[in-house]
């Protein structure tokens, strides 16, 4: 029934050297919960460490030059984990920055996968009604209703007003709209609603289908923001609060702008059954996550519905990334592991027998 068994690990190797008033925890504190990955990961890490350190190298890692020299010597058989080319040169894995990636999973150039993370909606000044998705390793700010109609990513079928707006920009290789492009389109649509004869072809669809909200002229149009400014805000090494897109990509409630997703506050009133994922003093649940679903404009209701449909025991909704994570084999740790796993925007619902519907 989902239980896993293996030899008891040597807990002495992980003993807590920081004395305190907390009671010492051992294997018995897990209440029978076991995770096969613990033993596998530890054994692999220990083996790799021993191979890199060697018998006479006390806690000192080898440099790439030392690894290369050893790989080309008689000791090559001791280092099967080191990748080399046909000339015996040691392969140096590339980082996400080396690859120019902001998100997703990619080959590091040495046959292994490097994880570059997920896109966060909070890195620009745009309202929380906007979304961000990973496109070819780059984080792209976009408006889901526009994307559903095929307007956000450019193609031969894109409306003429979309193509004309893009052609006015200096970035001729654009494959998709920037938030400023979309605001400009809405400005044109709102300004021409009173005169259909002079309106650009197809512009009325942006008003009639509810893609644009008409209001005051937004300051974002005067900020001279480029697509690169938005991309830079998502760079892994960027201080997002200092980027131009964070400071100047501002859309107020009464501004003319694209109609994207419903507004969800960072600390919303939670529906019945939903709670904050473990923060200090709160519920502490964990399980085996088997699927994640991008919610686009969906929220708590859609995440819970997907979880029930797939017979998950727990659903976790991450507001920052618009992601719904589904888990099974859920356990409650009570107060055993007092380490927060909360990023400030994750909430969960327990869907096991007896849980609130």
- State pLDDT tens for residues 246-279: 999 999 989 999 999 988 776 778 899 998 875 5
Structure-token pair, residue 105: 């999973």
User: What angle, 0 to 180 degrees and rounded to 10, lies between the N-to-C axes of helices 179-191 and 160-167?
Assistant: 120
Encode 221-254: b = buried (16+ Cβ within 10 Å), e = exposed.
eebebbbebbbbbbbeebebeebbbbbbbebeee
Determine how many CB atoms are found less than 10 A away from the CB of residue 85.
9
Cα–Cα distance, 152 to 147 (Å, whole number): 5
The average pLDDT across 32-48 equals: 73
Could you tell me which residue, 333 or 221, shows the higher pLDDT?
221
Q: What is the pLDDT of residue 4?
A: 47
Give the pLDDT band of residue 189 (cuts 50, 70, 90): confident
Residue 9 has pLDDT above 80, yes or no: no
Torsion of CA 155, 158, 160, 163, to 10 degrees: -50
Q: Is the dihedral of CA 337, 343, 347, 350 positive or negative?
A: negative
Which of the four pLDDT bands, split at 50, 70 and 90, describes residue 99? Answer: very high
121-165 pLDDT, tens digit each: 788 999 889 999 899 999 999 999 999 988 898 877 788 888 777
- Residue 306: enclosing H or E segment and its boundaries? helix 300-309
User: Per-residue pLDDT averaged across 90-106, rounded?
Assistant: 87
Angle among Cα 45, 119, 310 to the nearest 5 degrees reads 80
| Percent share of the chain, pLDDT over 70 | 69
d(C-alpha 274, C-alpha 348), whole Å: 5
Which comes out higher in pLDDT, residue 299 or 30?
A: 299
Residue 280 has pLDDT above 70, yes or no: no
Instruction: With a cut of 50, say whether residue 340 has pLDDT above it.
Output: no
What integer pLDDT is reported at residue 208 of this predicted model? 79
Q: What is the pLDDT of residue 307?
A: 95
Mean per-residue pLDDT of the chain: 77
Q: How large is the average pLDDT for residues 205-217? A: 87
Report the 3 state secondary structure along 163-203.
Answer: HHHHHCCCCCCCCECCHHHHHHHHHHHHHCCCCHHHCCCCC
pTM above 0.75? no
Q: Give the DSSP H/E element, type plus range, for residue 275.
A: strand 274-276
Torsion of CA 112, 115, 116, 119, to 10 degrees: 150
pLDDT for 51-87, tens place per residue?
655 554 444 455 667 766 766 665 555 555 566 655 6
Tell me what pLDDT residue 77 has: 54
CA distance 349 to 283: 11
For residue 312, pLDDT over 90 is answered with yes
Give the pLDDT of residue 357. Answer: 44
């Amino acid at each position: 029934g989902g239980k896993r068994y293996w030899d008891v690990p040597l807990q002495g190797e992980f003993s807590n050297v920081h004395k305190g008033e907390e009671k010492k925890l051992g294997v018995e504190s897990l209440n029978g919960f076991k995770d096969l990955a613990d033993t596998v990961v530890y054994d692999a890490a220990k083996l790799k460490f021993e191979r890199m350190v060697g018998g006479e190298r006390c806690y000192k890692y080898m440099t790439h030059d030392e690894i290369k020299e050893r790989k080309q010597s008689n000791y090559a058989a001791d280092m099967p984990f080191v990748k080399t080319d046909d000339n015996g040169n040691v392969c140096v894995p590339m980082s996400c920055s080396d690859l120019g990636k902001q998100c997703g999973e990619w080959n590091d150039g040495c046959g292994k996968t490097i994880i570059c993370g997920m896109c966060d909606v909070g890195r620009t000044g745009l309202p929380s009604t906007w979304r961000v998705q990973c496109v070819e390793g780059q984080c792209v700010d976009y408006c889901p209703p526009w994307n559903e109609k095929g307007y956000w990513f450019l193609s031969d079928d894109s409306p003429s007003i979309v193509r004309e707006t893009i052609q006015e920009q200096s970035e001729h290789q654009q494959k998709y709209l920037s938030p400023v492009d979309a605001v400009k389109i809405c400005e044109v649509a709102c300004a021409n609603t009173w005169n259909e004869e002079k309106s650009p072809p197809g512009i009325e669809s942006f008003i009639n289908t509810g893609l644009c909200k008409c209001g005051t002229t937004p300051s974002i149009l005067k900020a001279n923001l480029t697509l690169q400014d938005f991309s830079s805000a998502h760079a892994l090494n960027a201080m997002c609060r200092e980027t131009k897109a964070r400071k100047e990509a501002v859309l107020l409630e009464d501004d003319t702008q694209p109609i994207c997703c419903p507004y969800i506050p960072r600390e919303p009133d939670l529906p019945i059954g939903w709670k904050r994922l473990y923060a200090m003093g709160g519920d502490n649940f964990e399980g085996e996550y088997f699927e994640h679903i991008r919610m686009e404009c969906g929220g708590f209701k859609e995440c819970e519905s997907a979880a029930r449909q797939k017979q998950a025991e727990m659903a976790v909704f991450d507001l920052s990334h618009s992601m719904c994570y589904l888990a099974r084999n859920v356990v409650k740790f009570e107060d055993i592991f007092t380490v927060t796993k909360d990023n400030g925007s994750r909430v969960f619902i327990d869907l096991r027998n007896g849980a609130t519907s």
